[in-house]
Structures are given as C-alpha cells and as structure tokens.
A = this chain, B = another copy of it.
Amino acid sequence: MKRTIFDADHEAFRDTVRTFCEKEIAPHHDEWEKVGIVPREIWEKAGALGLLGFMMPEEYGGGGVDDFRYNAILTEEITRIGASGIGFVIQTDLVSGYLLSYASDEQKARWLPKFCTGETITAIAMTEPGTGSDLQGIKTSAVLDGDEYVINGSKTFITNGINADLVLVVCQTDPSAGAMGFSLIAVERGAEGFERGRNLDKIGLKAQDTAELFFDNVRVPKENLIGEPGQGFIYLMEKLPQERLSISVVAAAACRRVIDMTVDYVKERKAFGKPIGSFQNSRFTLATLETEARIAQVFVDESITQLNAKQLTVDDAAMGKWWTTELQKKTVDQCLQLHGGYGYMSEYPISKAYLDTRIQTIYGGTTEIMKEIIGRGMGL
C-alpha cells in the first residue's frame, strides 16, 4: 500500500535525516553499543541540522513546524538503520509536548534554545522501582518549602538517564488529592542530591542509557514546576497518546526493515538447491508479515493524520501501540527463524533487531495496560 501522507517538504526532510543517519550514526553505532551510551556530540550535530527542535517556536531557535510527520520521519530513519541507542524521540516526541503545551514563557526561554541545539538533553521520569503500570502508585514526593520544591524518591528505567540535563519528574505533590495530587517538575543536571544510578544492563538497546535516578532532598526553584500543580496526570493523559504513537512509528518502521532484510536473505541463502525464500512456507510467512506490516503502516499513518488534526484519541493510540509492537515482536521472531542458525549470531543485524524489539510491548504502557484502557473506553 503506497503511503500517501507525505509531500515534497517531508521527503526533503527525510533526505536530510537519512544522510545524517548514514553519515553520523551508522558508522559508530556498534561502538556506542559497546560503551552503552551515545556521545553528547551526536545530539549537538542533530541539533545543528534542526532535527531536534523543528517543532519548537522559531523565536527559541526551533523550526516552528507543528506537524508530526516530521517526528515520524526522524524516527523512521533512525529505525531504518537500527540505531536503537539514539534517544531523540524522548526529546522530540515526548518532552517537547510537555514543554510546548505547559511550560511558561520564562521556562521556554530558559530551556528551549539549548533543547533545540542539542546542548540540553532531556528525559521524562515517571516509573519507580515500586510502580510502573500503576502511575498512581508514584511515591517520589515534592514538597513546597518556601520558593523551592524539595524532592525525595527514586525513579528507574529512565531513557537518556545518564545523558539527560533536564529531567521532567512526575512527583506526588499532594498525597491527599488522589489522581489530582501529582505534578511535573523539571530537575536539572547538577542539582544537589540528584544522583544517577548505574547505566542498566539490558537485553538490547545496548547504546541507550537507561538509568535509575535518585532524589535526596533535591531542591529546585518553584519556577521549575511545569504548568499547574496537581495537573500532572491530566498532562500525562493528554500527551501519552503522542508517546504511544511514537512507539508505533518505530514498530512499523522496524517491521519494514526486518522484512526487507529477510527477503534479501532468503533470496540469497540456498537449501536443497533452491533459495529458501522459494519454499512455500517461507513465502507464506513473509506474505503474512508483509501484509500485516502494511496494515500497520496504514493505521500508523492515519493516526499521524489524526494526531495532526488533534483527533487522535487515547483509545486509538493505545490500540496502535499494543498492536504494532506485538506485530513487531512476531515479525522479528519469524524473520530470525528464516535466518536459521545465522539468526542467532550477533553479527547478523536480525539478531540485534531481536534484542532491541522485546521491550516495545512493555514500555510506554504494557500491552495489558493498553487493553485495560481500550476495554474501559468500550464501557466494559
């Protein structure tokens, strides 16, 4: 199914991104996987090209473009080269949303310029050791003390956790207010009492720094509160659809990539005197995966269109999130199988894809939580 959502400007942007990915990322990514983190410079190079701030107002150094198709293109191209360590998406698709919608002008002036240049790397910290799916279980507290919030608690599994200069932390600010007792507070690198744990050792995403964050009486000016106090969950509910769509964009692009890679492989590799792609089982497997990859892409594209029109619902985003990521998991698994023993070897890109994929159905809200949301939307 031919994609129809992009026009010439988007394609030009895609070219820029693709060149950047191939020149600046692809040759180094293996190395970054070994050290477990990407260098800050790659952020600055991306910033210089306008890849990090295109959605930000021009007055702060951004591109002033409110069109999620650009976000999608950036994500797709990074996924296309398997650069799973690059955490731009947190900045462009998640943190950007909170800052754009809820940050004050003063905050924007303070943070956005370096956000756009890539000098400031961001993260968003919701999950805690004791609670992930159930955000209402968050225990990290922020207590207003004079002009400052005093933050105590810890977060875990935070993407860009080591590199991040500015972290949006979901804190409990009013334990008595239930769902209305949470707020979004920005904590900056260097704040006293703000420590990072180790860079967590994961199945995949080897170049992505995922870390624990500790807050021990961290004091931040009350001007670091994003938006209104007590509105944290409202903001999350409003922005999570965009985060989930981001993950769907990755999923669809990853399906595309591994299918293409596998089609190439099965045309080359021979067994019993024939390309293994010529066995009917291989053909049917790949025809099935191709079908579902296209169906996923059409849904993702329509979701992008609806997001742009401010019409993407929480339910539809949840649907796309679980379905495309489960598909990605199935796709990568079956493509690996078609590689035979080689699929299990680290030097084959399909094996890395396998490792990177497994988290997709978990973060950003697990498949199960997505189904909870959808079921609720159906009145069940």
Contacts and interface: CB of A to CB of B under 8 A. Distances in A.
Contacts of A130: 270
B283 A380 contact: yes
A299 B136 CA distance: 36
Contact of A336 (B201, B278, B358): B358
A359 B374 contact: no
Interface residues of A, number: 81
B299 A134 contact: no
Nearest to A274: B134
Given A201-B345, A284-B375, 4 more contacts: A1-B306, A280-B280, A286-B375, A290-B319
A374 B291 contact: yes
Contacts of A273: 134, 137
Contacts of A283: 371-372, 375, 378, 380
Interface in A318-353: 319, 322-323, 329, 333, 336-337, 340-341, 343-347, 351
B133 A271 contact: yes
A200 B362 CA distance: 30
A2 interface: yes
Given A134-B271, A137-B271, A302-B1, A344 B203 contact: yes
Contact of A272 (B134, B271, B296, B341): B134
A295 interface: yes
Contact of A263 (B279, B303, B379): B379
B287 A354 contact: no
When A and B form their complex, which 8 residue pairs have the shortest distance between CB atoms, in order from nearest?
A: A283-B375, A280-B280, A287-B374, A291-B319, A201-B346, A287-B371, A287-B375, A283-B380
A298 interface: yes
A292 interface: yes
Contacts of A379: 263, 267
A288 interface: yes
A278 B380 CA distance: 6
A66 interface: no
A40 interface: no
A25 to B, nearest CB: 22
Contact of A316 (B292, B294, B366): B294
19 contacts: A1-B306, A132-B271, A132-B340, A133-B340, A134-B273, A137-B271, A157-B341, A203-B344, A263-B379, A281-B284, A282-B380, A291-B323, A295-B296, A298-B299, A302-B302, A336-B358, A337-B361, A337-B368, A344-B359
Given A277-B380, A281-B280, A283-B380, A323 B292 contact: yes
A349 B287 CA distance: 31
